[in-house]
């Protein structure tokens, strides 16, 4: 667990009673270590990033949240908002103890406005549920975080989640047109709404998107919808080398003139681990890299032409084989290979650091030999997979199972620093979609100057003078 020196007061029995008065007896957990423990960490596996909260509060309304935040300001207690806890930066970890504010009870879809192609919901709606409800309307929320079956929309907005379909549809923020939230001082405010265009004042909505719970707690979210594409075809393309696979990526978009929904890349290590884990029988042994390309649209013939063109371009780039999945059975089988990489490496070692570096796409091939150098230097595996179409790569250092845990903890910061330095040198940055949280905080200066960080600090200080909301994240105030 992290040890942090901070100026906050603890949640006392008296404060716990006040919290109970605000949200109701059964929605406060206090003094019960066993029940509080699950809220001490997110999906980041390392215990060193965890920290226990003193109380868990589960409000049901914006007014309750406002009252909690006002109380926290008065008593100088840290408040960390939390969704489903599937984050990968430590964003929902209560680094300074205090209150974890869980939004799971605020899980209603408030309005599906088909005429305006808008959906209004509370932050605790499971992201997948949004599209389940929209299917009957022929509409879709195009954000697609990889954890969509568990994560909450509030967390997606707070982290500006990316995912597997960003090449064509962009990331979460593109679809957020309004937020109602509780400010760090406890005011209920609303920015934006159902208007597609809105330049009234600062773009506060997009400042809140990706603010990692440091600038406000969402209570309502306005989401712009799209017509649901009727047809989707996936190609799983096997290449002998990484270079061949990566060369194909820009060509699909430039010579092919097609923007696929997804272009996912998997290197040899990732492919082999995942296929072995799944007992997959496609001939992966001789393959040095794979691409998973998805094209979608509303016209079957058009989608057919598109995937055929993409497939032929891949063959020109030296693809060994192009598999085509155009129905549920085969589509699932193909995506499983991509989705199970992280799970497969948990079998090798549960100790791994799932990173999400991002570089300009043309620089991906230059990244791969650097990762190989790092693996050799530290005698570890670094599988590399991810969203090649966005240059967003999950280079994931995995602990060597035969090395000691002390050794792993000793080398990991060096690996991270070297990895991030290489990324910066290649024109990239340290997080494309997971966020900074406290996991990557100390590496921020590698890609950002002091003046830039200071300007962000000033925003934080102005909105949250007591530094109540999610303290210790992104940068130190």
Partner 1 sequence: MKIIVPIKQVPETGAVKMDETTGTMIREGVEAIINPLDLYGIELAIRLREQFGGEVVTISMGPPKAEKALREAIAMGCDRGILLSDRAFAGADTWATAYALSQAIRKEGQFDLIICGERATDGDTGQVGPAIASFLDLPVASYVSKFDGCDAKAVRVHRLVEDGYEVLEVGLPAVLTVVKEVSDPRLPTLRGKQKARKAEIPVMTHEAIDADPECLGLKGSPTRVVKIHRPKVARQCTKVVAADEAAVAKAVDGLIKMLESKDLI
CB of 247 to partner 1, least distance (A): 18
CB of 30 to partner 1, least distance (A): 19
CB of 34 to partner 1, least distance (A): 11
Q: Name the residue nearer to partner 1 (CB basis): 321 or 372.
A: 321
CB of 324 to partner 1, least distance (A): 5
Q: Name the residue nearer to partner 1 (CB basis): 62 or 337.
A: 337
Q: What is the 3-state secondary structure (H, E, C) of the chain?
A: CCCCCCCCCCCCHHHHHHHHHHHCHHHEEECCHHHHHHHHCCCCCCHHHCCCCCEEECCCCHHHHHHHHHHHHHHCCCEEEECCCCCCCCCCCCCCCCEEEECCCCCCEEEEECCCCEEEECCCCEHHHHHHHHHHHCEECCCECCCCCCCEHHHHHHHCCCECCHHHHCCHHHHEEEEEEECCCCCEEEEECCCCCCCCCCCHHHHHCCCCCCCCEEEEEEEECEECCCEEEEEEEEECCHHHHHHHHHHHHCCCCCCCCEEEEEEHHHHHHHHHHHCCCCCCCCCCEEEEEEEEECCHHHHHHHHHHHHHHHHHCCCCEEEEECCHHHHHHHHHHHHCHHHHHHHHCCCECCCEEECCHHHHHHHHHHHHHHHHHHCCECCEEEEHHHCEEEECCECCCCCCHHHHHHHHHHHHHHHHHHHHHCCCECECCCCCCCCCHHHHHHCCCHHHHHHHHHHHHHHCCCCCECCCCCCCC
Q: Name the residue nearer to partner 1 (CB basis): 190 or 331.
A: 331
List binders of partner 1 among 234-273 (CB under 8 A).
235-236
Q: Does 154 bind partner 1 (CB under 8 A)?
A: no
Among 188, 259, 282, 448, binds partner 1 (CB under 8 A): 282
Q: Which residue has the tokens 């980041």?
A: 44
Q: Name the residue nearer to partner 1 (CB basis): 303 or 430.
A: 303
Q: Give me the 376-415 binding string for partner 1, x by CB under 8 A, dash otherwise.
A: ----------------------------------------
Q: Name the residue nearer to partner 1 (CB basis): 198 or 308.
A: 308
Please name which of 233, 216, 231, 127 lies closest in space to residue 178, comparing C-alpha atoms: 216
Q: Name the residue nearer to partner 1 (CB basis): 37 or 63.
A: 37
CB of 329 to partner 1, least distance (A): 5
List binders of partner 1 among 201-240 (CB under 8 A).
235-236
Q: Name the residue nearer to partner 1 (CB basis): 111 or 332.
A: 332
CB of 23 to partner 1, least distance (A): 25
CB of 327 to partner 1, least distance (A): 5
List binders of partner 1 among 30-69 (CB under 8 A).
none
Residue 305 CB contacts under 8 Å (≥ 6 apart), including other chains: none
List binders of partner 1 among 294-353 (CB under 8 A).
304, 308, 311-312, 315, 321-330, 333-334
Please name which of 476, 469, 473, 474 lies closest in space to residue 182, comparing C-alpha atoms: 469
CB of 299 to partner 1, least distance (A): 16
Q: Name the residue nearer to partner 1 (CB basis): 312 or 343.
A: 312
Packing angle of the helix pair 268-278, 341-348 (nearest 10 deg)? 90
| Distance in angstroms (rounded) separating the CA atoms of residues 339 and 202 | 38
Among 5, 281, 402, 450, binds partner 1 (CB under 8 A): 281
CB of 240 to partner 1, least distance (A): 17
* Whether the Cβ atoms of residue 162 and residue 151 lie closer than 8 Å to each other: no
Q: Name the residue nearer to partner 1 (CB basis): 293 or 382.
A: 293
Residues near partner 1 (CB under 8 A), total: 21
Q: Name the residue nearer to partner 1 (CB basis): 116 or 150.
A: 150
CB of 399 to partner 1, least distance (A): 32
Q: Name the residue nearer to partner 1 (CB basis): 129 or 308.
A: 308
Q: How many residues does the chain have?
A: 477
CB of 221 to partner 1, least distance (A): 27
Q: Which residues contribute to the site for partner 1 (CB under 8 A)?
A: 235-236, 281-282, 304, 308, 311-312, 315, 321-330, 333-334
């Amino acid at each position: 667990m992290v040890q942090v020196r901070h100026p906050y007061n603890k949640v006392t029995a008296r404060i716990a009673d006040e919290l109970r008065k605000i949200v109701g007896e059964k929605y406060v957990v206090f003094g019960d270590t066993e029940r509080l423990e699950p809220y001490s960490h997110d999906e980041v596996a390392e215990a060193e990033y965890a920290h226990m909260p003193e109380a868990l509060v589960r409000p049901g309304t914006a007014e309750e949240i406002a009252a909690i935040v006002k109380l926290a300001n008065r008593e100088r207690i840290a408040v960390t908002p939390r969704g489903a806890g599937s984050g990968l930066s430590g964003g929902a970890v209560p680094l300074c103890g205090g209150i974890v504010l869980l939004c799971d009870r605020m899980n209603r879809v408030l309005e599906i406005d088909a005429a305006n192609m808008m959906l209004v919901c509370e932050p605790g709606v499971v992201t997948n549920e949004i599209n389940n409800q929209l299917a009957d309307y022929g509409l879709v929320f195009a954000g697609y975080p990889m954890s969509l079956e568990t994560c909450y929309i509030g967390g997606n907005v707070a982290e500006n989640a990316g995912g597997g379909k960003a090449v064509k549809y962009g990331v979460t923020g593109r679809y957020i047109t309004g937020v109602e939230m509780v400010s760090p001082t406890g005011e209920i405010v609303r920015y934006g709404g159902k208007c597609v265009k809105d330049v009234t004042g600062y773009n506060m909505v997009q400042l809140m998107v990706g603010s990692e719970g440091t600038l406000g707690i969402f209570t309502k979210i306005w989401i712009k919808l799209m017509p649901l594409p009727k047809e989707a075809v996936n190609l799983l393309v096997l290449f002998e080398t990484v270079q061949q696979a990566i060369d194909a990526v820009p060509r699909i978009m430039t010579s092919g003139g097609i923007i696929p929904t997804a272009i996912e890349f998997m290197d040899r290590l990732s492919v082999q681990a995942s296929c072995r884990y799944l007992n997959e029988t496609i001939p992966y042994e001789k393959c040095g890299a794979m691409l998973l390309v998805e094209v979608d649209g509303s016209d079957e013939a058009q989608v057919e032409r598109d995937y055929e063109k993409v497939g032929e371009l891949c063959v020109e780039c030296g693809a060994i084989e192009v598999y085509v999945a155009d129905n549920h059975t085969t589509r699932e089988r193909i995506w499983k290979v991509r989705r199970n990489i992280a799970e497969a490496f948990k079998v090798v070692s549960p100790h791994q650091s799932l990173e999400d570096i991002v570089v300009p796409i043309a620089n991906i091939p230059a990244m791969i030999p650097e990762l190989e150098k790092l693996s050799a230097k530290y005698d570890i595996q670094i599988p590399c997979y991810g969203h090649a179409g966005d240059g967003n790569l999950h280079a994931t250092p995995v602990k060597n199972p035969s090395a000691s845990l002390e050794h792993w903890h000793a080398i990991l910061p060096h690996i991270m620093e070297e990895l991030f330095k290489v990324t910066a040198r290649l024109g990239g940055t340290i997080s494309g979609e997971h966020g900074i949280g406290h996991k990557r905080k100390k590496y921020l200066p590698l890609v950002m100057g002091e003046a830039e960080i200071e300007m962000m600090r000033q925003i934080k200080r102005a909105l949250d003078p007591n530094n109540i909301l999610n303290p210790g994240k992104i940068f130190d105030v």
